[in-house]
């Protein structure tokens, strides 16, 4: 019985990648608008860093930045960033990702830290 349930889940689940650069990707599982920014481990496995709904990402040699509509509410935006050099598969998102920030707070941080511009919008 358990095997039948697992097989049904595997065939019913759909997923895809919208953006990938180095060891990071923006992907979705089941719902194509629920985009997550994650650390890609290979073989289709990733560790979430910024949860849905991510609508923009950017990166440079030092930083990753992401913009999100919390709970899918497109009238609201939250912003995140984190240092790529400190990220690895043994860290949880709350140990590496900084945010959420308002747009005003994020723009100030962007100037102070020389955070990258958005390289991809979804």
- Considering the domain boundaries, does residue 74 fall inside one? yes
Residue 91 DSSP class = S
- Considering the domain boundaries, does residue 53 fall inside one? yes
**pLDDT given for residue 6 in this prediction:** 37
Mean pLDDT along residues 15-43: 96
- Considering the domain boundaries, does residue 106 fall inside one? yes
pLDDT at 80 over 50: yes
CA-wise closest residue to 61 among 104, 112, 8, 119: 119
Q: What gap in Å lies between CA 61 and CA 37, rounded to an integer?
A: 17
Give the confidence band of 10 by pLDDT, cuts at 50, 70, 90: very low
**pLDDT given for residue 13 in this prediction:** 80
Rounded to two decimals, the pTM is: 0.87
Residue 23, domain extent: 15-121
Structure tokens given for 73: 């509410």
**pLDDT given for residue 12 in this prediction:** 59
| Cβ–Cβ < 8 Å for 64, 57 | yes
**pLDDT given for residue 78 in this prediction:** 98
Sign of the dihedral defined by the CA atoms of residues 96, 26, 36, 90, in that order: negative
- Considering the domain boundaries, does residue 48 fall inside one? yes
Count of domains for the chain: 1
């Amino acid at each position: 019985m358990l095997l039948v349930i697992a097989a049904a889940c595997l065939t019913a689940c759909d997923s895809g990648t919208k953006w990938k650069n180095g060891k990071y990707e923006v992907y979705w599982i089941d719902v194509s608008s629920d985009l997550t920014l994650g650390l890609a481990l290979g073989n289709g496995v990733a560790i979430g860093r910024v949860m849905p709904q991510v609508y923009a990402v950017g990166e440079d040699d030092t930083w990753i930045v992401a913009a999100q509509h919390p709970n899918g509410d497109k009238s609201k935006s939250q912003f995140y960033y984190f240092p790529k050099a400190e990220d690895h598969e043994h860290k949880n998102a709350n140990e590496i990702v900084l945010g959420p920030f308002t747009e005003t707070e994020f723009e100030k941080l962007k100037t102070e830290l020389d955070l990258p511009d958005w390289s991809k919008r979804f």
